[in-house]
Structure 1
Amino acid sequence: MIPRYSTPEMDAVWSDTSKFARWLEVELLATEGHAAVGVVPQKAATICRENAPVADDAFLQKILEREAITDHDVAAFVDVTQDAINDPAGSWIHYGLTSSDVGDTALCWAMRDAADLMIDASTELLEAMISLAHEHRDTVMIGRTHGIHAEPTTFGAKVALWALQIDRDRKRLRTARAAVAVMKLSGAVGTYSNIPPEVEQFVGDALGLAPVPATQVIARDRHAEFLYACSSVAATCELVAVELRHLQRTEVREVQEGFKPGQKGSSAMPHKRNPISAETISGLARIVRSNLLAGLQDIALWHERDISHSSVERVILPDSSQLAFYMMRRLRQLLAGLIVMPERMQANLDASYGLVFSQPVLLSLVQGGKTRDEAYRIVQRNAMQAWDEGTAFRTLLEADADVDNAVLDDAFDLRRSLSNLGRVFDQLDAIDV
């Protein structure tokens, strides 16, 4: 991931030094596991641990130099590790293992840690949304369908629905975490032909990863589930971002991203205050979603394995989790500084001449004895006239002989329109943050 969208927390999970540190720990635990079942001398396992290299930049450089010869990253890693430990103890490193035992176990370990960061970020974003929803529970605005005025709602209700969706994403992240918090040390085709299952269990217990049946590799539907959780988070963040972008348009101007001192919106036009955070989130969501397709294509491998998935995963797993994490952090920051304009929301609601109450009028006419189609036509002709002439909808209805004016007060009552929004907030308050 390019530095612009990376974070120190995710960098620490996915860096090459972190990867090789995980590989090293898997190898050392496997050696200790073998010692526990009497395969490896206990003294040799102790020496391996004591003489193990430090997983730092120098270690990384030695592996890269060795890989230039071996053309195989795990083999290069094993060579460098054994050289650091020295024989005879070093010869027990990688005993009975295949490359995917080490690589897949360490990769799942990294995905689990990445999932933990994303779960924490989703909780922080959820808390910000809940706070904003309650703050604007009664901030009335127009609801829009197809981009056209529909019926009244509140900004708080809108944000509450975002929060409920983020909470569902958090559940998906937790489920994905469970799916990838696994490991395997079962050898070349997963038959434990050269490694006892007890060694696998020993390593799994030490790492907090569950051993699972596998071929040479752990099944990639787990990785795809992880990528789906990232994609779902990204899609939700974009849902919010697109809405905020629309609401910040000059013609709407109901919300506005914060604008810090010294910030410039345009190099050419000094008046500009653009929704740059929301637009960035929308753009990054495209990358995360597209990575999911590649992850699904990685599921079908030849026989017990090939490496067509390997090059893909080196990109999409770090990038997707890094971007999902970044987007949640960026969105939380956006919401924390969001400027909400209640007066503008009210003005926009009033700008459609009261047409937002057309459905209550329709229903009141039906209750008064008219057929639905008769009522619809009466309301529609008055509504179209209001649009075309810029006349108050209620004024036209009051002058229409087919309309009983006695029902209009209730039909045009904003409190009636919003009286049941408490159900949304009941759901919101039921969330276990």
Structure 2
Amino acid sequence: MIKRYTLEKMGSVWSEQNKFQKWLDVEIAICKAWNRLGKIPDDAMKEIEEKTYIDEKVVERIHELDRIYNHDVLAFVTAVAEQVGENGRYIHLGVTSSDVIDTALGLLMREAIDILIEDIDQLLPVLKENAFKYKDTVMMGRTHGVHAEPMVFGLKFALWYEEMKRNRERLVKARDVVSVGAISGAVGTYSNIPPEVEKYALEYLGLKVEPVSNQVVQRDRHAEFMTAMAITASSLEKIAVEIRHLQRTEVLEAQEPFRKGQRGSSAMPHKKNPITCERITGLARVIRANAIPAMENIALWHERDISHSSVERVVMPDSAIALDYILNLTKNVLSGLVVYPERMKRNMDLSKGLYFSSKVLVALVEKGLSRDEAYDIVQRNAMKAWDTEGLMFKDALLSDEEVTSRLSPEEIDKIFDVNEFLKNVPYIYRRVFGEY
């Protein structure tokens, strides 16, 4: 991922230095397992642990050797073995490249997921805070982009809160699914390494054993992580798209923060554009797109090929880095969101009270009309109000004998009470938050 969208903590997870460090962690864990089984002497083990390390110069040495070998794992093994000397021969004993790469990748994914879960844990309180801050802020609910029925602005945040809880659960599950390793040798049959080495090494690393590995950890695990990120990104895009709509000049019920000194357009100084939310939308597309090759990585030739390798070097870091970035963007946008309750009220008035049509429909049905009869009466008056300049829906109903013969002016007044739409909002809040 480009530097512009990379936050330091997540970027460091996917740095080459950290990748090679994880490879070294795996190699040392394997050596410790061999040592436990008596294959590597204690003095050799001590020397391996004390002398091996990864820093920028070691990374450069690995690249230097890789240009010769055209094999990054062998370049890595040679570079760290050089640090030890004669006892370096014990490093990578009996294992194959995938044993190191896949097991280390499990450590990297786990580390990345922990950051993403932490991001969500920081976003959830912001969503909850806004849900309660705007629990009494009445606005127009829209379907198909058209006025539907009144709601409260806080319900949007309650909905997003509940959805982000599900995204957190998906990432927690994905963390468990990817926290596995395989140290089983070529084609996964333990031909040059006993299963005990795998067992002990993975215990040291805090990973579970892949029950059947056929040399590689199966990529359905990685695809689950990638799709969990894609779904989370899509939820963030949902939030961003909503704010982008609400920020339109014709709507202007809410807008993302516009900080002091910020400029909205190179040509039009008056502009306040929802650029942050648009960036969230754009990067969500990237993350979703990356989930497709991750699923295509599941099908490899026979016991394995490396068609998945080049894909994972790109899509996995890019998706994790981008998701970390847009989770933080979303938190910042919602923390500083500018809301215009008076504009919400003004926009509600644009539909001339037509959003009470469902209430009138129910009332007429309860008076004995068939649903179709009641629907025709309500629709007729709604269209009359819609098409007549200055005519309110309520006034149209009061001038219709088919309505007034069944509903008194007092009953119509009661129907046209916006609070009737909102009476069960506390129930929803208690269901989501346990309080109102």
Q: TM-score, normalised by structure 1?
A: 0.98
Which string of whole-angstrom CA distances, capped at 9 and with x for unpartnered residues, describes residues 151-172 of structure 1? 0001001111011111110110
> Is the 8 Å Cα contact of residues 134 and 154 (structure 2) preserved in structure 1?
yes
TM-superposed CA distance for 1:385, in Å, is: 0.8
Instruction: Report the 3-state secondary structure (helix = DSSP H, G, I; strand = E; otherwise coil) of the residue aligned with 2:299.
Output: coil
Tell me how large the CA RMSD over aligned residues is: 1.0
* Paired AA for residue 79 in structure 2: V
Query: Which residue in 1 is equivalent to 2:285?
Result: 286
Instruction: Report the 3-state secondary structure (helix = DSSP H, G, I; strand = E; otherwise coil) of the residue aligned with 2:142.
Output: strand
Query: Which residue in 2 is equivalent to 1:92?
Result: 90
1:30-429 pair list within 5 angstroms: 30-52=30-52, 54-87=53-86, 89-213=87-211, 214-390=213-389, 391-403=391-403, 404-405=407-408, 406-429=410-433
TM-superposed CA distance for 1:253, in Å, is: 0.3
* Paired AA for residue 249 in structure 1: R
Question: Which one is further off, 194-203 or 233-242?
Answer: 194-203
Question: Which one is further off, 322-331 or 200-209?
Answer: 200-209
Cα distance in 1, alignment partners of residues 88 and 79 from structure 2? 10
TM-superposed CA distance for 1:407, in Å, is: 2.8
Cα distance in 2, alignment partners of residues 19 and 323 from structure 1? 18
Cα distance in 2, alignment partners of residues 423 and 14 from structure 1? 44
TM-superposed CA distance for 1:394, in Å, is: 0.3
TM-superposed CA distance for 1:423, in Å, is: 2.6
TM-superposed CA distance for 1:414, in Å, is: 1.1
Query: Which residue in 2 is equivalent to 1:23?
Result: 23
Cα distance in 1, alignment partners of residues 131 and 27 from structure 2? 49
TM-superposed CA distance for 1:424, in Å, is: 2.2
Instruction: Report the 3-state secondary structure (helix = DSSP H, G, I; strand = E; otherwise coil) of the residue aligned with 1:151.
Output: strand
> Is the 8 Å Cα contact of residues 29 and 205 (structure 2) preserved in structure 1?
no
Which string of whole-angstrom CA distances, capped at 9 and with x for unpartnered residues, describes residues 301-322 of structure 1? 0111000000000001101111
> Is the 8 Å Cα contact of residues 161 and 424 (structure 1) preserved in structure 2?
no
Structure 1 stretches of 4+ with a deviation exceeding 6 A read none
* Paired AA for residue 261 in structure 2: G
Instruction: Report the 3-state secondary structure (helix = DSSP H, G, I; strand = E; otherwise coil) of the residue aligned with 1:295.
Output: helix
TM-superposed CA distance for 1:230, in Å, is: 0.6
Instruction: Report the 3-state secondary structure (helix = DSSP H, G, I; strand = E; otherwise coil) of the residue aligned with 2:402.
Output: coil
* Paired AA for residue 244 in structure 2: R
Cα distance in 1, alignment partners of residues 245 and 2 from structure 2? 28
Cα distance in 2, alignment partners of residues 317 and 410 from structure 1? 57
> Is the 8 Å Cα contact of residues 130 and 428 (structure 1) preserved in structure 2?
no
TM-superposed CA distance for 1:430, in Å, is: 4.3
Which string of whole-angstrom CA distances, capped at 9 and with x for unpartnered residues, describes residues 196-251 of structure 1? 22211222111111111211100000000000111011000000000000000000
Cα distance in 2, alignment partners of residues 349 and 134 from structure 1? 21
Cα distance in 1, alignment partners of residues 204 and 35 from structure 2? 15
* Paired AA for residue 43 in structure 2: K
* Paired AA for residue 175 in structure 1: K
* Paired AA for residue 345 in structure 1: M
TM-superposed CA distance for 1:427, in Å, is: 2.8
What count of residue pairs does the alignment treat as equivalent?
A: 429
Instruction: Report the 3-state secondary structure (helix = DSSP H, G, I; strand = E; otherwise coil) of the residue aligned with 2:401.
Output: coil
> Is the 8 Å Cα contact of residues 358 and 383 (structure 1) preserved in structure 2?
yes
Cα distance in 2, alignment partners of residues 200 and 423 from structure 1? 53
TM-superposed CA distance for 1:362, in Å, is: 0.3
Instruction: Report the 3-state secondary structure (helix = DSSP H, G, I; strand = E; otherwise coil) of the residue aligned with 2:187.
Output: coil
* Paired AA for residue 146 in structure 1: H
Among all aligned residue pairs of Structure 1 and Structure 2, give the percentage whose two residues are the same amino acid: 48
* Paired AA for residue 272 in structure 1: K
> Is the 8 Å Cα contact of residues 238 and 285 (structure 1) preserved in structure 2?
yes
TM-superposed CA distance for 1:280, in Å, is: 0.4
Task: Extract unaligned runs of 5+ from structure 1.
Answer: none
Task: Extract unaligned runs of 5+ from structure 2.
Answer: none
TM-superposed CA distance for 1:80, in Å, is: 1.0
> Is the 8 Å Cα contact of residues 365 and 375 (structure 1) preserved in structure 2?
yes
> Is the 8 Å Cα contact of residues 32 and 42 (structure 1) preserved in structure 2?
no
Cα distance in 2, alignment partners of residues 102 and 411 from structure 1? 69
| 1:10 maps onto 2:10 in alignment | yes
Cα distance in 2, alignment partners of residues 276 and 174 from structure 1? 31
> Is the 8 Å Cα contact of residues 183 and 211 (structure 1) preserved in structure 2?
yes
Cα distance in 2, alignment partners of residues 150 and 28 from structure 1? 63
> Is the 8 Å Cα contact of residues 29 and 202 (structure 2) preserved in structure 1?
no
TM-superposed CA distance for 1:330, in Å, is: 0.3
* Paired AA for residue 331 in structure 2: R
Which string of whole-angstrom CA distances, capped at 9 and with x for unpartnered residues, describes residues 29-74 of structure 1? 111110101122222111111221x211100000000000100000
Cα distance in 1, alignment partners of residues 431 and 267 from structure 2? 46
* Paired AA for residue 9 in structure 2: E
Cα distance in 1, alignment partners of residues 51 and 268 from structure 2? 63
Instruction: Report the 3-state secondary structure (helix = DSSP H, G, I; strand = E; otherwise coil) of the residue aligned with 1:189.
Output: helix
Cα distance in 2, alignment partners of residues 26 and 293 from structure 1? 29
Cα distance in 2, alignment partners of residues 359 and 412 from structure 1? 11
* Paired AA for residue 424 in structure 2: N
* Paired AA for residue 409 in structure 1: D
Question: Which one is further off, 340-349 or 207-216?
Answer: 207-216
